[in-house]
């Protein structure tokens, strides 16, 4: 494998690295799975071959054991890539807006938004409007609605979108407002409240945006058609991840001494890659057909592996099964991912497997539990070897999540 040797601290990087983020793959043990976790239950011949010649353990996310858990994807993905996000602003709205290529200036106010379904009185009946897709028509409707502050709304993948409000001469925004999205079906959309007096205008703006967008969405022919077909209308927006600061960070290639490339379609990851100076090969994740998604990932992954020393490859479907609380789908998505990786021509590369966070089916959301990790060079000749899973990880080394990349680079320096 031809590789222009990079350097991380005193280590010369000799092998390519494929660093895989299996979003939300960690979980707890279930009776239905014979007291195993989905990872341990799944048949994973590729991971087991990696383990035969490699190392596994648990990585501790920055939110571990905290009273106020940190489980947001931006903190944990930065941490997975070796940046301790407690040390810099990392509001999700701004990062996703950057990821989608929207114009964002310091001081602009951005929010990640989900399309949702609500009843007349604002009670949420579906947090993702039936996992709606192709919402460009709704984007047009929202951008055309009357609003006192200039803004841009962008519909992104699936039920997701981003709103950026423009700062101006006498218009300053504050992140210090309370949440609007209760994250629970059966509860009403909340009103944003200022956490300090100077944030009142921003809270009012967010509340007005939620109201006006409900009117605009209710009037949209797109939603009328959905209702006629018996589908939940996307008649509300749930903004979150309020942010007004753009972080300035040491680029990944400088910090770690390797040319890196990201293969991902998720807005937050695209934004993080852009902020870290990691070019992206874009794929459509969350297409709803996971076999198709894996197929679409193959060519960009192979291209990235040919041209870069460090490839960051993101898989979303396991996390989605976790959010839906679908244990068996989670098992099969882990198996599908293992088979995909096992089919790649890896030619001596170090393959690293880990995640931003666990998404236990039991809670249908992110947790701050320690996350299984694994890295090594596949040893396909190994027989009767160990099974990759939580039991093996419990015997391995415990590391901080933000030290994972460093450990993997050290492994890639071995001959």
CB of 357 to Zn ion, least distance (A): 7
Taking the least distance from each CB to Zn ion, the nearer of 165 and 315 is 315
**Least Å from the CB of residue 96 to Zn ion:** 14
Which window, 10-18, 273-281, 305-313, 315-323, contacts Zn ion (CB under 5 A)?
315-323
DSSP assignment string, 36-77: B-HHHHS--HHHHHHHHTEEEEEEE-TTTT-SS----HHHHH
CB of 311 to Zn ion, least distance (A): 22
Looking at beta carbons only, is 77 or 213 nearer to Zn ion?
77
φ/ψ bin of 245: left (φ > 0), alpha (ψ from -120 to 50), beta (otherwise): beta
Pick 128 or 201: Cβ nearer Zn ion: 128
Residue 317, number of CB atoms within 10 A of its CB: 26
Which among 144, 151, 164 is positioned nearest to 102, based on CA atoms? 164
Query: From the CA atom positions of the chain, what is the Rg in Å?
Result: 22
Q: Which residue is nearest to Zn ion (CB)?
A: 319
Closer Cβ to Zn ion, 73 or 351, answer by number: 73
Closer CB to Zn ion, 157 or 344, in the complex? 157
Q: Which two tokens stand for residue 365?
A: 């959301």
DSSP element (H, E) containing 352: strand 350-354
Size of the site for Zn ion (CB under 5 A): 1
Stretch that binds Zn ion, among 122-130, 233-241, 318-326, 373-381 (CB under 5 A): 318-326
Min dist. Cβ of residue 71 to Zn ion (A):
9
E strand or H helix at 313: strand 310-315
Question: Binders of Zn ion among 344-403, rule CB under 5 A?
Answer: none
Q: How far is the CB of 280 from Zn ion (least distance, A)?
A: 20
For residues 186 and 34, give the distance between their C-alpha atoms in angstroms, rounded to a whole number.
33
Q: How many CB atoms lie within 10 A of CB 341?
A: 22
CB of 22 to Zn ion, least distance (A): 12
Question: Could you please report the per-residue DSSP string of 135-162?
Answer: -HHHHHHHHTS--SS-EEEEE-STTEEE
Which residue, 108 or 319, is less far from Zn ion as judged by CB?
319
User: Which stretch, 221-229, 262-270, 287-295, 313-321, contacts Zn ion (CB under 5 A)?
Assistant: 313-321
Residue 319 within binding range of Zn ion, rule CB under 5 A: yes
Q: Alpha-carbon distance 24 to 36, whole Å? A: 16
| C-alpha span between 194 and 191 (Å, rounded) | 10
Nearer to Zn ion, 20 or 346 (CB): 20
Query: CB of 35: closest distance to Zn ion in angstroms?
Result: 25
**Can you tell me which residue has the tokens 């040491």?**
250
Helical (H) or strand (E) element with 400: strand 397-400
Closest to Zn ion by CB, 40 or 319:
319
CB of 406 to Zn ion, least distance (A): 25
Q: Which residues of this protein are in contact with Zn ion, per CB under 5 A?
A: 319
């Amino acid at each position: 494998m031809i590789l222009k040797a990079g350097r991380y601290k005193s280590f010369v990087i000799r092998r390519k690295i494929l660093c895989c983020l299996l979003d939300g793959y960690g979980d707890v043990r279930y009776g239905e799975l014979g007291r195993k976790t989905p990872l341990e239950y799944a048949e994973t011949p590729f991971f087991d071959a990696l383990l035969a010649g490699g190392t596994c353990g648990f990585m501790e996310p920055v939110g571990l054991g905290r009273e106020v858990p940190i489980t947001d994807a931006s903190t944990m993905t930065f941490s997975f890539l070796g940046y301790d996000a407690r040390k810099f602003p990392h509001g999700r709205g701004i990062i996703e807006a950057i990821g989608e290529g929207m114009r964002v200036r310091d001081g602009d106010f951005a929010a990640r938004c989900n399309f949702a379904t609500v009843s007349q009185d604002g009670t949420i009946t579906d947090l993702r409007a039936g996992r709606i897709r192709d919402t460009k028509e709704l984007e047009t409707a929202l951008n055309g609605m009357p609003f006192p502050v200039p803004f841009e709304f962008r519909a992104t993948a699936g039920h997701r979108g981003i709103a950026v409000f423009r700062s101006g001469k006498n218009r300053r925004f504050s992140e210090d407002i309370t949440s609007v999205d209760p994250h629970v079906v059966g509860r009403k959309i909340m009103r944003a409240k200022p956490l300090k007096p100077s944030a009142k205008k921003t809270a009012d703006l967010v509340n007005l945006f939620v109201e006006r967008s409900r009117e605009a969405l209710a009037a949209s022919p797109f939603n009328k058609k959905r209702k006629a077909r018996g589908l939940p209308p996307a008649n509300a927006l749930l903004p979150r991840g309020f942010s007004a600061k753009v972080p300035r960070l040491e680029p990944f290639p400088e910090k770690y001494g390797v040319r890196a490339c990201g293969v991902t379609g998720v807005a937050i990851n695209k934004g993080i890659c852009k902020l870290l100076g990691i070019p992206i090969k874009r794929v459509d994740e969350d297409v709803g057909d996971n076999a198709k998604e894996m197929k679409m990932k193959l060519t960009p992954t192979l291209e990235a592996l040919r041209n870069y020393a460090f490839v960051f490859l993101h898989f979303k479907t396991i996390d989605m099964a976790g959010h839906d609380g679908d244990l068996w789908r989670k098992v099969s998505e882990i198996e599908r991912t293992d088979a995909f990786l096992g089919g790649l021509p890896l030619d001596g590369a170090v393959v690293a497997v880990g995640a931003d966070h666990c998404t236990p089916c039991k809670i249908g959301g992110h947790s701050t539990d320690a996350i299984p990790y694994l890295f090594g060079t596949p040893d396909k000749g190994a027989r009767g070897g160990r099974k990759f899973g939580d039991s093996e990880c419990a015997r391995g080394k415990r590391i901080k999540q933000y030290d994972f990349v460093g450990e993997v680079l050290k492994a890639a320096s071995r001959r």
